[in-house]
């Protein structure tokens, strides 16, 4: 065998391995030196990618307060439980204790961890009571920790639910004012770069990238005292009359501010199980109805402004009904010969129809349009509808007649209140506001001052002993208003035994400050007239509101009346 074909000896192989080993170590050392000295950014980037994270610090959502500084919505700090899925998967023996504390099942925990096993963070349970958070941490389970969040709390609960709305679990506005003013209330989350260990725990806060900007507080125009009172008496009326639903709106006639807005059935925004679409709808701005006889004052105002009618002009309503083609317009009874003022006092459909038919149909349409019917109020609450005021190329006489007493158009309770505020404010239509108004308010004149005052006088008689709204009176205050009892529309037409009971009015008449509309949907039983169902609610709420605002009484009984009252009491 030749020398060149002889196998490598053991010593040769030994030196070959040593040479390869030293070469490898040299290459590794050179690479390490290069990374440590020359290309240091690479290692830093790799380390940062594994352990540096940007965490968000949630801002505190701004408070919502009423016009007197009463808190209506606040955000309170709470703890949420999170886990490092990979680590918790290795702690199967602890799942049962953890699940029992969180009121979950071990299977739920296992499913969450497996679903998110490639992530470093997953929520197990959010917004826990403090005692539950303490019990979780006392278990000392690897991979489980707490994170601070905020939960919205509403001190007034169901009393303000429909107006304020609510937030979701991430503290974002979903309905009502919470949604309408979400950008103002939310604020901006802070950002901080932190160093975390392999379990996701923060080891060191490296730098603050962006500071937390907390949400701004919001003052709204509601008066919590009036809101509470309206809720109390409206709920009692719904229960007493077994009604389907109801709404109350209270406005400041001088500024257009909404002082109260209540709906029944209500809901408690603190109880997320109670939040259902059918309950959190703000009916005062989303639900429409035909206003019925509460439109008659505007029909009469239109007639007075024409100059062809005055408060004492006579209208013959005999024999208590009016045939218009094949259609019949009826009154409760034959009122005979009435003055225009008495048409309001007795709420005569025949009288209102006869007056309206004396004019071109477009004239009444324009008068109602100027009052805001058919247009949304622009209050800014989510879901507000515009109602309807149909403009026809050709009006049939029956359409013109029924429009005169409130059929054929639809409005929300808020729209009706805005229209009555025109009568209270001497003919000026004011923009409505859900936030406090600062300084003078500029409105639009849509009715003559004299006409508005004449209508207030008529509406005051409507709540006298001879009117339909006597149950709306308030002790020691002059009240003006109008009842409405409207047949509801069903699939087969107007129902004979289903009604909307309405009262719209204002006080004190000498210098109106408050306007209120009460709407009760589908009251059951023998009492269903607006004067029997809605007017008493108006009386109770208005009495309390006038007292809360320290408005002086403007009704002073004559001395003889006082003497008679004293004698009767004796």
Of 37-46, 59-68, 100-109, 136-145, minimum mean pLDDT range: 37-46
Predicted pLDDT of residue 565: 37
Task: Decide if 310 contacts 457 (C-beta within 8 A).
Answer: no
Count of CB atoms situated within 10 Å of the CB of 278: 8
Q: Tell me the CB-side half-sphere exposure of residue 201, using CA atoms within 13 A.
A: 8
pLDDT in tens, 14-26: 777 777 888 888 7
Q: What is the mean pLDDT of the chain?
A: 88
Contact (Cβ atoms closer than 8 angstroms) between residue 115 and residue 186:
no
Q: Specify the pLDDT at position 338.
A: 96
pLDDT in tens, 164-178: 999 998 889 999 999
Q: Which has the closest alpha carbon to 255: 421, 427, 447?
A: 421
Helical (H) or strand (E) element with 404: helix 397-404
Rounded Cα distance, 284 and 385, in Å: 10
Contacts of 80 (CB under 8 A, 6+ apart): 123, 125, 126, 127, 128, 146, 147, 149
Query: d(Cα 151, Cα 271) in Å, to the nearest integer?
Result: 12
Per-domain boundaries in the chain: 55-219, 224-272+287-564
Share of the chain above pLDDT 70, in %: 88
Q: CA torsion, points 100, 105, 109, 112, in degrees to nearest 10?
A: -140
Longest dimension (CA), the chain: 152
pLDDT at 321 over 90: yes
Nearest to 546 by CA among 497, 508, 518, 489: 508
Q: Identify the pLDDT of residue 23.
A: 81
Contact 280, 165 (CB under 8 A): yes
Q: Is-contact 306 376, C-beta < 8 A?
A: no
- pLDDT level of residue 512 (50, 70, 90 thresholds): very high
Q: How confident is the model at residue 84 (pLDDT cuts 50, 70, 90)?
A: confident
| Confidence band for 182, pLDDT divided at 50, 70 and 90 | very high
pLDDT category of residue 567 using cuts at 50, 70 and 90:
very low
93 CB neighbour count, 10 Å cutoff: 8
Mean pLDDT of 467-475: 95
Q: Exposure of 33 by Cβ count < 10 A (0-12 exposed, 13-18 middle, 19+ buried)?
A: exposed
Give the span between the Cα atoms of 333 and 91, in whole angstroms: 83
Exposure of 499 by Cβ count < 10 A (0-12 exposed, 13-18 middle, 19+ buried)?
Answer: buried
Q: What is the pLDDT of residue 406?
A: 95
Confidence band, pLDDT 50/70/90 cuts, at residue 180 = very high
With a cut of 70, say whether residue 198 has pLDDT above it: no
Residues forming a β-bridge with 14? none
Q: Do domains 55-219 and 224-272+287-564 have the same CATH topology?
A: no
Q: Can you give the pLDDT at residue 345?
A: 95
CB atoms within 10 A of CB 186: 21
Q: Report the C-alpha gap between 366 and 252 in whole angstroms.
A: 25
CA distance to 226, 442, 479, 526, 534, per residue, from 243 (Å): 22, 39, 26, 12, 11
pLDDT of 542 strictly over 50 = yes
| Distance between start and end Cα atoms, the chain | 149
The contacts of residue 456 (CB under 8 Å, 6+ apart) are: 423, 424, 480, 506, 509, 512
Could you give the 3-state DSSP secondary structure of residue 323?
Answer: strand
Do 265 and 245 meet the contact criterion of CB atoms below 8 Å apart? yes
What pLDDT is attached to residue 570?
Answer: 29
Four-residue CA torsion sign, 281, 282, 284, 286: negative
Q: Judge contact between 35 and 43, C-beta under 8 A.
A: yes
When pLDDT is averaged across residues 110-125 and rounded to a whole number, the result is: 85
Question: Residue 178 has what pLDDT?
Answer: 97
- Compute CA 121 distance to the chain's CA centroid, rounded to the nearest angstrom: 35
Architecture of domain 224-272+287-564: 3-Layer(aba) Sandwich (3.40)
Q: Is the pLDDT of residue 484 over 50?
A: yes
* pLDDT of 141 strictly over 80: yes
**pLDDT score at 11:** 63
Residue for token pair 């997320």? 272
In this structure, of 148-152, 187-191, 249-253, 363-367, the range with the lowest mean pLDDT score is 187-191
Residues 160 and 221: their CA atoms lie apart, in Å, by 12
Q: Which of these is catalytic: 75, 186, 221, 293?
A: 293
> 293 catalytic, yes or no?
yes
Query: In this model, does residue 118 exceed pLDDT 90?
Result: no
Lowest model confidence (mean pLDDT) among 1-10, 103-112, 255-264, 513-522: 1-10
Confidence of residue 9 (pLDDT cuts 50, 70, 90): low
- 483 φ, ψ (degrees, to nearest 5): -85, 160
User: How many other β-carbons are positioned within 10 Å of the β-carbon of residue 110?
Assistant: 15
Three-state DSSP at 106 gives helix
- Please give the backbone phi and psi of residue 9, each rounded to the nearest 5 degrees, phi first: -75, 170
Query: What pLDDT band is residue 422 in, cutting at 50, 70 and 90?
Result: very high
Least confident piece of the model among 50-59, 88-97, 165-174, 222-231: 50-59
Please state, in angstroms and rounded to a whole number, the distance separating the CA atoms of residues 201 and 204: 9
Q: Is the pLDDT of residue 434 over 60?
A: yes
Does the domain at 55-219 match CATH 3.90.1310.10? Answer given as yes
């Amino acid at each position: 065998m030749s020398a060149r074909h002889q196998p490598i000896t053991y010593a040769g192989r030994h030196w070959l391995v040593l040479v390869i080993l030293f070469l490898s170590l040299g290459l590794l050392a050179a690479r390490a030196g290069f990374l440590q000295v020359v290309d240091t950014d690479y290692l830093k980037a790799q380390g940062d990618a594994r352990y540096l994270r940007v965490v968000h610090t949630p801002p505190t959502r701004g408070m919502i307060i009423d016009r007197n500084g009463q808190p209506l919505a606040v955000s309170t700090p709470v703890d949420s439980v999170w886990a490092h899925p990979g680590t918790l998967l290795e702690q199967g023996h602890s799942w049962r204790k953890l699940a029992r504390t969180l009121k979950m099942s071990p299977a739920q925990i296992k499913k969450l961890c497996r679903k998110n096993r490639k992530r470093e963070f997953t929520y197990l349970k959010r917004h826990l009571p403090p005692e539950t958070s303490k019990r979780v941490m006392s278990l000392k389970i690897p991979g489980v920790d707490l994170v601070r969040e905020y939960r919205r709390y509403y001190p007034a609960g169901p009393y303000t639910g429909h107006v304020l709305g609510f937030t979701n679990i991430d503290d974002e506005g979903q309905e009502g004012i919470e949604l309408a003013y979400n950008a103002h209330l939310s604020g901006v989350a802070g950002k901080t770069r932190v160093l975390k260990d392999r379990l996701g725990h923060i080891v060191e806060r490296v730098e603050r990238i962006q500071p937390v900007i907390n949400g701004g507080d919001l003052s709204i125009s509601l008066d919590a005292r009036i809101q509470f009172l309206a809720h109390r008496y409206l709920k009692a009326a719904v229960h007493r009359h077994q009604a389907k639903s109801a709404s109350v709106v209270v406005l400041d006639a001088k500024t257009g501010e909404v002082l109260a807005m209540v709906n029944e059935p209500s809901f408690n925004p603190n109880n997320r199980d109670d939040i259902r679409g059918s309950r959190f709808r703000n009916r005062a701005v989303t639900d429409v109805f035909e206003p019925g006889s509460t439109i008659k004052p505007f029909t009469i105002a239109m007639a007075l402004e024409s100059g062809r009618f005055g408060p004492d002009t006579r209208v013959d309503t005999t024999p208590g009904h009016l045939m218009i083609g094949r259609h019949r317009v009826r009154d409760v009874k034959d009122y005979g010969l009435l003055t225009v003022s008495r048409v309001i006092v007795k709420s005569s459909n025949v009288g209102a129809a006869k007056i309206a038919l004396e004019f071109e149909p477009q004239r009444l349409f324009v008068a109602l349009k100027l009052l805001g019917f058919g247009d949304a109020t622009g209050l800014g609450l989510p879901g507000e509808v515009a109602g309807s005021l149909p403009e026809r190329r050709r009006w049939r006489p029956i359409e013109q007649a029924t429009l005169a007493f409130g059929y054929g158009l639809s409005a929300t309770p808020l729209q009706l209140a805005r229209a009555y505020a025109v009568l209270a404010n001497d003919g000026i239509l004011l923009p409505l506001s859900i936030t406090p108004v600062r300084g003078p308010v500029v409105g639009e004149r849509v009715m003559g001052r004299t006409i508005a005052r004449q209508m207030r006088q008529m509406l005051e008689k409507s709540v006298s002993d001879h009117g339909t709204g006597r149950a709306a009176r308030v002790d020691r205050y002059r009240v003006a208003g109008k009842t409405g009892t409207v047949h509801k529309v069903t699939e087969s037409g107007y129902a004979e035994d289903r009604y909307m009971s309405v009262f719209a009015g204002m006080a004190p008449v000498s210098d109106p400050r408050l306007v209120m509309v009460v709407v009760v949907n589908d009251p059951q039983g023998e009492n269903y007239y607006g004067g029997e169902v809605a007017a008493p609610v108006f009386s109770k709420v208005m009495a309390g509101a006038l007292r809360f605002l320290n408005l002086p009484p403007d009704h002073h009984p004559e001395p003889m009346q006082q003497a008679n009252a004293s004698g009767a009491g004796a």
